[in-house]
Structure 1
Amino acid sequence: MLKKILLNKWTKKLAGRMTIFGQYHRLIRPNQVNLMYFDEKIGPDKQPNVGDLLSKVTFDYLMKYKGINSLKARRTTRITFIGSVIQFLTADAVVYGSGFLFEYVAEPFAKKKLKLDVRAVRGPLTRGKLQEIGYDVPMVYGDPAILLPIFYAPPVVVDRKDFLVIPHWKTVDKYVKMGYPVLSPLTADWKNFINEIASAKLIISSSLHGVIIAEAYGVPAILLDEVEKDNLFKYKDYFMSTGRKEFTKVKTVEEGLATAIPALPDLEKMKSDLLNAFPEDIFR
């Protein structure tokens, strides 16, 4: 029994080092920059989470923007981009704009004793947790999804929807049955996801990337407080990165529609800082 337990632990550790987030069909490529992101297809229709998908989309666009045409690196390198993925790392990595999912995952993550080359984090809460466990973290904030308007412009819509609801993927049907205009966060068509958001006057979203993309494209957003494990860490992390300690959150769509539309943050300096922090030096 002990031998079997030790073998399972060794196999799991090896898989963590040799694959991207334990997915055996996604092997780490030696002497290349390996983007660490999830690509599972979930939900009844087996679609990707658009936030995870946008990690690769934004990474590819930034590569072109910076004139980098090869993933070759001086050494095998892992990098995190969009999303709450730091705690899932199992090997040394570069961190660019990522965050922790919850505050309590930082302590077990510290036990992995990984080397992190942190260039930017999603927000000050992630920065604080990384500093608490001994990492050097620059004061450079921003989810890389805020850079999407640099690369993609949605069609101009004259007759915009009054509002659009982006619920957690598990509750999409609930809001559809209630008769609200709904946009699912599970989709492979990321351009349409952005187009739909840009065609609305207001976004009411429990998806963090529903909020981030809305604000990046100049659409006011209200957080629908129907979030994973009732934990607002990643949302606070983003809002605080824009200088907002307080932000609008509601329990129902009706409450959101009755609430004053929040002001949009100025993301220009954050975008500039994030672009300047892109780790061009890790590429050969």
Structure 2
Amino acid sequence: MTAIELFHYDPRLPVVPGRLGSRLPWRRPLSNFGDLLGPVVVRGLLARHGVHLPAQAPPARADGPPRQRLLSIGSVLHYARDGDVVWGSGRNAKMEDALHRFTRLDVRAVRGPLTRDFLLARGVPCPPVYGDPGLLVPLVLPELVALSRQRPHPLTIVPNYNDLGWMPPSDALLDPRSPWMDCLRRIAQSALVVATSLHAVVVAEALGVPARLVRSRAEHPFKYQDYYLGTGRSDVRIADSLAQALRWGGEPPPSPAIGPLLDSFPHELWTAAAAAPPGGSVHLGAEGAA
């Protein structure tokens, strides 16, 4: 049996900026906390099924057979290959249709109905099961729920990493490339989260922390609309500035039905592998754009 790979976006970027950096060999991972939540949620859910994945896995063999892959958190649909399993992923509307080269996917859930419509238009069956798996963070990290009962930080501002350049300096600013658990703890302990980072909003709302989305200057609105529609909201107000977001405060929280998303989690990909005869294997892989 070939290994099962959990795909998540974490590209290795040049350490030195500019044209010179692109020619040098030194790279470091982006480590955007939202993109790293996929492995966190999947590990946590698998543990509930008695499967415990290692924190790190050995690198893939270049000459090995293709692995079956699970795509979860993130706008990563354009990375999908025929035969991949999709659970909670979304379309990245900045990517051209031609970059979506798949024709056969095993779709269990998607981020929202806009992603579902995109798949159906391409002839890919997709059930009406919606939700960003980041909504399950309180389930797999219950210590965050306890932390959220005390909120010493009156405000936390979380930009999408592509919006960092225009965000004004502030003690309330949280760099989304900070260690992922630090990001989650800060969001949990905030009285208000203002963000262009989608997953700052997702995690805040999952923990019951008031959150307001600010319109991104770098990201397409598709993913935000997809998420809100997937939680049953079509009338969310998106602030045009930080000042407006502060005046408005948090958006009324959703009451997403996480049961269907949780029930659609494809744990059998791993539980079946764990029950396989010797020679089967499980692999937790990290991939990203080079």
* Alignment TM-score, normalising by the size of structure 2: 0.77
Pair 1:34 & 2:25 matched: no
Structure 1, unmatched stretches of 5+, are 1-29
Q: Counterparts of 1:153-172 in structure 2 under 5 Å?
A: 153-154=143-144, 155-156=147-148, 158=150, 160-172=152-164
Structure 2, unmatched stretches of 5+, are 16-27, 55-65, 273-290
Aligned equivalents of 1:79, 1:251: Cα separation in 2: 35
* Structure 2 residue corresponding to 1:145, chosen from 124, 134, 138: 134
2:278 aligned partner: none
Question: 43-52 or 124-133: which moved more?
Answer: 43-52
* Structure 2 residue corresponding to 1:79, chosen from 70, 85, 102: 70
* Structure 2 residue corresponding to 1:266, chosen from 237, 251, 255: 255
Moved over 6 A (4+): none
Instruction: Provide the aligned length of Structure 1 versus Structure 2.
Output: 245
Q: Which amino acid aligns with 1:169?
A: Y
1:65 aligned partner: 48
Pair 1:277 & 2:264 matched: yes
- Give how far 1:261 is off: 3.1
Residue by residue over 1:80-137, the C-alpha shift from the partner in whole angstroms, topping out at 9 and shown as x without a partner, is 01000011224420000001011764x3245x24310000000000001100110111
Distance change >3 Å, CA 141–CA 227, structure 1 → 2:
farther
Distance change >3 Å, CA 182–CA 136, structure 1 → 2:
same
Larger helix percent: 1
Structure with higher RCO (Cα < 8 A, 6+ apart): 2
1:210 aligned partner: 200
Q: Counterparts of 1:17-28 in structure 2 under 5 Å?
A: none
Q: Counterparts of 1:126-205 in structure 2 under 5 Å?
A: 126-152=115-141, 153-154=143-144, 155-156=147-148, 158=150, 160-172=152-164, 174-177=166-169, 179=170, 181-187=172-178, 189-205=179-195
Pair 1:116 & 2:105 matched: yes
* Alignment TM-score, normalising by the size of structure 1: 0.78
Pair 1:222 & 2:212 matched: yes
- Give how far 1:170 is off: 4.2
Alignment partner of 2:254: what SS? Answer: coil
Identity across aligned pairs (percent)? 31
Q: Is the 8 A contact 2:35 2:74 kept in 1?
A: yes
